Amino acid sequence: MAKKIVTKRSWAEPFKIKMVELLKMTTPEHRLKAISSAGYNTFLLRSEDVYIDLLTDSGTNAMSDRQWAGLMLGDEAYAGSRNYYHLETAVKKFYGYKYLVPTHQGRGAENILSKCLIKEGDIIPGNMYFTTTRLHQELAGGIFEDVIIDEAHDSTNLHPFKGNIDLNKVEALIKKHGASKIPYICVATTVNMAGGQPISLENLKALRKLTLKHGIKIILDMTRVAENAYFIQQREKGYANKSIAAIVKETCSLTDGATMSAKKDALVNIGGFLAVNDKKVFEEARNMVVIYEGLHTYGGLAGRDLEAMAIGIEESLSDDHMAARVGQVIYLGEKLIDAGIPIVQPIGGHGIFIDAKRFLPHVKQAQFPAQALAAAIYTDSGVRTMERGVVSAGRKANGENYFPKLELVRLTIPRRVYTQAHMDVITESIEHVYSIRKKIKGLQMVYEPKYLRFFQARFKPL
Ligand SMILES: *Cc1c(COP(=O)(O)O)cnc(C)c1O
């Protein structure tokens, strides 16, 4: 049975803690040294120098005792591992896709999918870009086109489904290039780069109608499909009494296949897959996976990882889990809003996104305000966040920088890891940094890798 959060009742966690991981507390002097040797890039910090780690929700989830027990049932056969069949059953039962190709993580699936479906010069529309997704599309010869609604680029717009696709933008692309140039549309649930914003089923249904008319596939980036379903349950007419599991199944049924980073919603530390309904695409992908990942029954993962994923998929679809998961994110977001911190609204599913342009209006975008703010927050409290702005956006094929409208610092909340007290400490730190914001200066990039530069770039203060 689906449950709505009853206001004035807390969303307390539907679990208790069985094992704890001790954290190191550090001094401001220690952190100043650490961030400077990390080139002011929070990706280059050592984890042991971090107190509360909000770098990402990717692979940082706490597994349940059932998942840990599942690890012991790993069948480490090279071929035909029992755990592969468990995963295949879970993907069919909960997502409804016919064919499964496991991969070591989401980008492994993106690589294979892009190579199977994209030809040189093809157009790949998507509801805002994601870093690895777009790069694999481009490396396969495709050109990404953003078709998200305009509201998504405005951090103050309160549209309930800022992940929606603007069908007029899709139609314009079909008119301009012809449907044969568009092998598929990539639909993300929820949209990470827009601040974890959901897409509605109404929008996805309309897109399905349009794409069927033109013979264009829909491929879901289903990395956060359960969080997306939670917002549909809370906000979309007709879904208040549907379970997360039912909404997820319906979402997948409107698409032709999906790539999944199981390190997010599926509650594991490593893993992913490609799932499709078309047998021909499956056969090509299954052939390709042996080149890049491993045999088609393990895809770069150990048998135990496949088992943990199969169990995690089921746990991720519990209504109580999702109410507490997103409830914790909303708790933090509302505290920050009350403190006057400029964040992306509505609050998203997997984290809070601080609007660095409004937080540091004196720092120009070319001086990496979000990068500078992430470094300042770390120095203040040991809370590690990450940049989602001009550094993450990278450069176009012609070498020019992308200058995205959104210049954000992401506070990503790992699933089932931190407590409400941690959320309070985070709020206090951000409030303090906000009070001294005028002292924060921009940065200069002193080392820039060619691909996905945000991971390894180095900076120095101006
Ligand atoms: C993380 C992520 C990916 C890539 O998955 P990895 O497991 O990190 O390779 C793709 N799309 C979205 C929306 C993601 O958040």
pLDDT in tens, 73-97: 999 999 999 999 999 999 999 999 9
Distance from the CA of 134 to the center of ligand 1, in angstroms?
A: 11
Q: Would you say residue 9 has pLDDT above 80? A: no
Instruction: Count other C-beta atoms under 10 Å from residue 201's C-beta.
Output: 22
Q: What mean pLDDT comes out for the span 418-442?
A: 98
- Two tokens at 291? 């080149």
Domain range list for the chain: 28-57+319-461, 65-316
Q: What are phi and psi for residue 382, nearest 5 degrees?
A: 80, 10
Q: Could you tell me the CA-to-CA distances from 151 to 145, 194, 331 in Å, in that order?
A: 16, 10, 24
**3-class secondary-structure state, position 98:** coil
Q: How far apart are CA 41 and CA 34, in angstroms?
A: 10
394-429 pLDDT, tens digit per residue, is 998 888 999 999 999 999 999 999 999 999 999 999
Q: What pLDDT does 193 receive?
A: 87
Query: What is the spatial distance between Cα 396 and Cα 74, in angstroms, rounded to a whole number?
Result: 43
Q: Whose CA is closest to atom 1 on ligand 1?
A: 261
Q: Residue 7 — very low, low, confident or very high, per pLDDT cuts 50/70/90?
A: low
Ligand 1 site, residue 190, Cβ cutoff 6 A = no
pLDDT above 90 covers a percentage of the chain that reads 95
Q: Is 381 in the pocket of ligand 1 (CB under 6 A)?
A: no
Is the previous residue joined to 198 through a cis bond, with omega within 30 degrees of 0? no
Closest residue to atom 4 of ligand 1, CA basis? 106
Ligand 1 atom at minimum distance from 262 CA? 7
- Strand-strand pairing, 386-388 and 408-412: antiparallel
**Distance from the alpha carbon of residue 117 to the mean position of ligand 1, in angstroms:** 19
Residue 80's CB: how many other CB atoms inside 10 A? 12
Decide: 431 and 339 in contact? Cβ < 8 Å: yes
Separation of alpha carbons 387 and 459, rounded Å:
13
Beta strands in 142-284 (DSSP E): 143-146, 184-188, 217-221, 257-261, 272-276
Nearest atom of ligand 1 to the alpha carbon of 191: 13
Cβ of residue 107 lying under 6 Å from some atom of ligand 1: yes
Tell me which residue has its CA closest to atom 8 in ligand 1: 106
**Cα 260 to middle of ligand 1, angstroms:** 7
How far is residue 394's CA from residue 22's CA, in Å, rounded to a whole number? Answer: 36
Ligand 1 atom 5, closest CA: 106
pLDDT of res. 3: 56
Q: 189 CA to middle of ligand 1, Å?
A: 11
Among 192, 222, 228, 293, the mutation site with the greatest number of ligand 1 atoms within 8 A of its Cβ is: 192
Give, in words, the CATH class of 28-57+319-461.
Answer: alpha beta
What is the structure's pLDDT at 11? 81
CA atoms within 13 A on the CB side of 78: 3
pLDDT of residue 6: 57
Region 239-258: mean pLDDT is 98
Atom of ligand 1 nearest to the CA of 272: 7
User: Given this structure, which CATH class describes domain 65-316?
Assistant: alpha beta
pLDDT for 5 equals 56
- Alpha-carbon span 264 to 350, nearest angstrom: 9
| Residues tagged active-site | 78, 130-131, 221, 264, 388, 454
Round to whole Å and give the CA distance between 266 and 308.
9
> To 5 degrees, how large is the angle CA 276–CA 280–CA 285?
60
Ligand 1 center to 106 CA (angstroms)? 5
- Work out the pLDDT band at 185, boundaries 50, 70, 90: very high
Nearest CA to ligand 1 atom 6: 106
Does the CB atom of residue 58 touch ligand 1 within 6 A?
yes
Q: Tell me the three state secondary structure of residue 273.
A: strand
Distance CA 335, CA 262 (A): 29
User: What pLDDT does 162 receive?
Assistant: 97
Question: What does the pLDDT average to over 96-124?
Answer: 98
Which atom number of ligand 1 is nearest to the Cα of residue 108?
Answer: 9
Q: What whole-number distance in Å separates Cα of residue 338 and Cα of residue 359?
A: 15
CB count in 10 Å sphere of residue 307: 26
Q: Is 133 in the pocket of ligand 1 (CB under 6 A)?
A: yes
How far away, in angstroms, is 171 Cα from ligand 1 center?
Answer: 27
380 neighbors 367 (Cβ within 8 angstroms): no
For residue 234, how many C-alpha atoms fall within 13 Å in the half-sphere facing its CB? 21
Cβ proximity of 244 and 233 under 8 Å = yes
pLDDT score of 379: 98
DSSP conformational letter for 278? -
Interval between CA 162 and ligand 1 midpoint (Å)? 19
CA of 340 to the centre of ligand 1 (A): 31
Kindly report the pTM of this predicted structure.
0.94
DSSP 3-state assignment of 432?
A: helix
**Mean pLDDT value across residues 317-328:** 97
Q: Whats the size of the chain, residue-wise?
A: 462
Nearest CA to ligand 1 atom 12: 223
Type and span of the H or E element at 70: helix 65-71
Q: Is the CB of 197 under 6 A from ligand 1?
A: no
Pocket test for ligand 1, best of 60, 144, 264 (most atoms within 8 A of CB): 264
